[in-house]
Structure 1
Amino acid sequence: MNADRMAAAYFASLATLSRNTPDGWYAERGTSRAATSGSAIAALNGAYSVALDPDPASLDTMAVAVRARDVPWSITVRGAASYAVAGLAARHGRTVRADTTVLACAAADVAFRDPEAVIRRVGAAESGTYTAILAEAFEAPVAVFGSMMAGGVLDHAAFSGYLAIESGRPVGTALGMRAGDVIGVFNVGVVPSHRRRGLGRALTERILADAFAGGADAAYLHTSAMGRPLYASMGFRHVETRTVFTAG
């Protein structure tokens, strides 16, 4: 899979989300972007380079702009960060460095298992429930997610929200973010009491099945080391590593 294509889809979706969530904000300068998502998650607010070779001047301009928004934020570049980027991040107080792994697959490569789990598509009318289950799944206060999923986000054509249901209760979440013919898989989480039952895979499969049926031909996601074996078993392969700088 083409890393540039997956990156372009991600940054396009980030722009769409930031422009449509109630407290979101978005800006561009050269090959750099700045966005806030309405959440208090630093990785979802920040200055980003869309190019493999970041332009320090435009990235610095975007860092100044997002810093003024007074939210937890980050600086993200594709690939390994240069000394110049690390120095720029340090000047903005972003001294903690971490990697984000990006996996991708073509539609034809996905290994579906047709799980029996009940996965239900949800719209904006259920954004409160969605956010509450998302917070429970990620073991974080609801306030951390702020207004990210509020407003009309879940009714927007670019987004598809899902809840996993067991015994009549929502127990998991997932979000598809589509840009062109590429679908991004996000917010896959299951509440602690219902983990290890295949729900994370079922949620991911539902996003992919719906998107591919609608004409998408590729997918990507960001994963932790713990989640990588699951997604590899579905047909996802590593395409890129990004470097993220947050506050110390």
Structure 2
Amino acid sequence: MTTRTTAALLRRHVHGLQQLTEGSPSGRVVRAGSLAFADAGIDVAAFNAIAVTGAAWSVGDLDRAAALAATSHRPWSITVQLGTGTVRDAARLRAVERVAERHGLTERDEDPFLACRPADFRPATPVADDPAAGTADGPVTRTADGYATRTTDGPAVRTAGRATFGVRRTGRPHVVTVPAADWREYTEVVAAGFEVPPATFGTVFGGALLDDPTVTGYLVRVDGRTVGSGLGVRTDDALGVHNVAVRTDDALGVHNVAVLPADRGHGAGRAVTERAVRDGFAAGATAAFLVSSPDGLPLYRSLGFRHVDTLVRWSAPEPATDRGTDRASDRASDGMSGRASDRATVPVVPPMSSSTARS
């Protein structure tokens, strides 16, 4: 994959995160010249972010965007591409780091940025054998305590006060799409996968976001239990953010790949990633991309993704007395940043793109 192609995908990644933020009932995107502050409206720094990629930006605009971010009185961050080590890449990184330091953002994290083209995609499950193929969900109802229940091929059951959902008794992951009406259920599963309270995400996934034609939410079910989640977002580099009337050369961003801790390592993360990428390519995307945790790299590489760049994020360090809150905030940031979270260790967490998936 060429440097120019990677740069285009990074722009689409930023556009996709802004698109999700604008589509969220709690979010807003504030422009500052060549840059923008995407404010998700929750207390997770990686969800409230300024992203710097390529050469079309200025230090003055970054300072202005940072000043806007500071007025939100919420944790926030600046993300920049690491690049390939050119003089321009090094200068961009130094300039962004200086601005971050001026605004008290001194904690640095790095995450791999991965990409896959249709010709390189290697799904483990043939389409004809995909448990999700051709299966429709039954109607959603709500119990007296507000939980959603749904009937698919088996009865809905309840575990520990939460609704779980009947599926075919095969023991295999079964991936379904989620309408906006079920955003609370979706939020619960994402939060459980990233091991944070559902309140951490507020109404980020609420409103009409999951009914947006460019956004698809997914849930993974195995033998009557909902065990994981995912999100696919289609973006177009030429037409910018949220333009669905005409698209050319779409790309797909994969986000919120999260699996409940007890169910990791059994194919749920792989199943939802495969489904999201398949759906994106079938809709005309010419590439898929995501931000991975280091532990998620083997899974994504096995599907045909390549590590094409690294995203560096600066945020304000938490006081020592707030480290427990900080760990929860770090885990939550995997959700919007797109990182996947199906890994053996406790995930350390918006923007929307990370993973707890290792199979």
CA distance in 2 between counterparts of 1:6 and 1:185 reads 12
Cα pair 2:77 2:315 within 8 Å, conserved = yes
1:231 aligns to 2:303 (yes or no)? no
- For each residue in 1:71-103, what CA deviation from the matched residue of structure 2 results, as whole angstroms up to 9, or x when unmatched? 221011121663332221111111101112100
Letter aligned with residue 207 of structure 1? A
Moved more, 79-88 or 5-14: 79-88
Q: How much has 1:53 moved relative to structure 2?
A: 7.0
Which structure shows the higher strand fraction?
1
Q: Which structure's relative contact order is higher, taking Cα pairs within 8 Å and 6+ residues apart?
A: 1
Corresponding residue of 1:22: 25
Q: Secondary structure at the match of 1:226?
A: helix
Q: Secondary structure at the match of 2:177?
A: strand
Cα pair 1:47 1:62 within 8 Å, conserved = yes
TM-score, scaled to structure 1: 0.95
Cα pair 1:3 1:240 within 8 Å, conserved = yes
- For each residue in 1:189-215, what CA deviation from the matched residue of structure 2 results, as whole angstroms up to 9, or x when unmatched? 110111110110100000011111111
Q: CA RMSD in A?
A: 1.5
Letter aligned with residue 147 of structure 1? T
Q: Secondary structure at the match of 1:129?
A: helix
Q: How much has 1:30 moved relative to structure 2?
A: 3.3
Cα pair 2:51 2:78 within 8 Å, conserved = yes
Corresponding residue of 2:273: 204
Q: Secondary structure at the match of 1:161?
A: strand
Moved more, 229-238 or 112-121: 112-121
Cα pair 1:31 1:50 within 8 Å, conserved = no
CA distance in 1 between counterparts of 2:21 and 2:74 reads 14
Structure 2 spans left out of the alignment, 5+ residues: 83-89, 131-171, 237-249, 318-359
Corresponding residue of 2:123: 112
Q: How much has 1:172 moved relative to structure 2?
A: 0.3
Letter aligned with residue 101 of structure 2? A
Moved more, 28-37 or 135-144: 28-37
**Kindly, what percent of the aligned residue pairs are identical?**
38
CA distance in 2 between counterparts of 1:85 and 1:23 reads 27
Corresponding residue of 1:217: 286
> Which one of 61, 64, 76 corresponds to residue 79 of structure 2?
76
Q: How much has 1:145 moved relative to structure 2?
A: 1.2
Structure ID, larger Rg: 2
Q: How much has 1:52 moved relative to structure 2?
A: 4.5
CA distance in 2 between counterparts of 1:196 and 1:168 reads 18
Corresponding residue of 1:243: 312
Letter aligned with residue 30 of structure 1? G
CA distance in 2 between counterparts of 1:94 and 1:53 reads 22
Corresponding residue of 2:100: 89
Corresponding residue of 1:169: 225
Q: How many residues align?
A: 248
CA distance in 2 between counterparts of 1:170 and 1:21 reads 24
Structure 1 spans left out of the alignment, 5+ residues: none
Moved more, 118-127 or 3-12: 3-12
Cα pair 2:52 2:80 within 8 Å, conserved = yes
Corresponding residue of 1:42: 45
Letter aligned with residue 164 of structure 1? V
